[in-house]
Amino acid sequence: MTHEDTDEETHEGTGKPGRPHHRLILHGKAALDREVRKGVESLRDEGHRIGVRVTWEVGDAHRMAREARADGVDVVVAGGGDGTLNEVVHGLLEGGDEEGGDPGCAVGLVPLGTANDFATACGLPESPLDALRLVTSSPPCSIDVGRVNDRYFLNIATGGLGAEITSETSEDLKSLLGRLAYLLTGLTRFQDLRPVQGRLRAEGFEWEGSFLALAVGNGRRAGGGMDLFPEARLDDGRLQVLLVPELPVQRRVTTLTAFLQRGRRAVEDAMVVLASPWLEVSVPTGLHLNLDGEPIEGRSFRFEVDPGRLRLHLGADCPLLGRS
């Protein structure tokens, strides 16, 4: 399988009449995964029409998603981690015929990343075959999408220490140590930690001062399994916000180490939390943000939620849906 596969009969499969057209956008590292190949072959044998495109470099998944939308594909399946899913969603939503409207195709996910924070929180199957079966057998659910300026995210955006740790932790270290990789990176960064001066505004909320970390969530988990927003829902029209204000120097190491080890409950006495359909963040010196693994930077950010913007195959028992 290569990203140049274009022959519909050979590589997309004919499928049974009336069956939806699926296209799997697969991260290059998973191209030789036997379980993925078995899953695709099994569903094709059952009459499903499933094509495969394999990424080579950053930006391929974004481009391939746009091509799938233009080709009239019914379901685009992201095969990879949170970053691959982010690229696919961004490719489908940006520059559509109707700005703010339905992209015209649903989305599925086969979790093949290192952390798979979004997929794990949603209760998606780990097996590629089971994940593909869920996509082909369950109806899609309408979910909210987070947006900051002109970029989209499905799971969580982090700024400050959280963004630095996520961007600087290598894939090899994450594969070897899992969640502990973030802790190790964080410990090496503590000596360079500097609070960020900024101002935040949201629905019924204003705050100004210095902060160490900021997280804005549509989903629940980040950082290889930290449960940051246990009350988050993908269909409630709101974003969850967590802010860790500046701490006395003597508390920084112990508090942030506990935060990286145990997540939100470790800093509940120090954090500010709220829920709002929008959030404005102003940082005169600039701030790096990490959107589901995709970095952006700037001095002014407006977060908004686009209610029901995307149709995603999650299964009837997904804990992040309000009706569950």
Q: Could you give the residue numbers annotated as active site?
A: 294
Show Cβ contacts of residue 72 under 8 Å, excluding neighbours closer than 6 positions. 21, 104
How far apart (Å, rounded) are the C-alpha atoms in residues 158 and 26? 26
H or E segment to which residue 145 belongs: strand 141-148
Helix 82-93 and helix 60-70, axial crossing angle in degrees, nearest 10 = 40
How far apart (Å, rounded) are the C-alpha atoms in residues 221 and 263? 9
Please report, for residues 180, 258, 320, the alpha-carbon distance to residue 314 in angstroms, rounded to integers and kept in the order given.
28, 32, 9
| Cβ-based neighbour number of residue 236 at 10 Å | 19
Asked whether 186 and 165 are in contact (CB, 8 A), the reply is yes
Please report, for residues 60, 146, 239, 307, the alpha-carbon distance to residue 278 in angstroms, rounded to integers and kept in the order given.
30, 9, 7, 12
DSSP secondary structure, 226-267, as one string = EE--TT--TTSS-EEEEEEE---HHHHHHHHHHHHHHGGGGG
How far apart (Å, rounded) are the C-alpha atoms in residues 302 and 237? 16
Asked whether 182 and 167 are in contact (CB, 8 A), the reply is no
How far apart (Å, rounded) are the C-alpha atoms in residues 136 and 166? 33
| Cβ-based neighbour number of residue 141 at 10 Å | 20
How far apart (Å, rounded) are the C-alpha atoms in residues 135 and 295? 29
Report residue 6 as tokens.
């274009």
